[in-house]
Amino acid sequence: MISTALDSLQAWVMLGLSVVVFVTQLVALIDCARREPRAFEVEGKLTKNVWLIILGVATALGFVGIGFYSGLGFLNIVAVVAAIVYLVDVKPRVAPYSRRPPRGGSPSGW
């Protein structure tokens, strides 16, 4: 009885962790898609297209890895590391190059 409850709890924890991993990968992919391609080159990082491929594959692995028992554990760890590297290292470097609309109304100031 206790073993069954513990197995069930572990399965729910793994499901929660796999959802968190997938969301992290998805956030990294969406953020990368919104960045200026030139910013990656100026900062000496891999090109935007390369990052989009890496993060796209990582997100796909994260999506497939959602579930109570997934056989992609190691690949999903590698995939989430790629997303974390993007979010921690690349994103802060390319963020200042983003186009942002002017605040406070129209560009003419009216």
**Average pLDDT of the chain to the nearest whole number:** 87
**What percent of the chain clears pLDDT 90, i.e. is strictly above it?**
58
Question: Does the structure show a pLDDT above 70 at 16?
Answer: yes
Residues sharing a CB contact under 8 Å with residue 28, sequence separation 6 or more, in sequence order: 55, 58, 59, 83, 84, 86, 87, 91
The answer to whether 48 and 35 are in contact (CB under 8 A) is yes
Residue 11 has pLDDT above 50, yes or no: yes
Residue-wise pLDDT tens digits, 41-86: 999 999 999 999 999 999 999 998 887 566 677 888 899 999 999 9
Backbone angles phi, psi at 97, to 5 degrees: -90, 0
Spans of all domains in the chain: 24-96
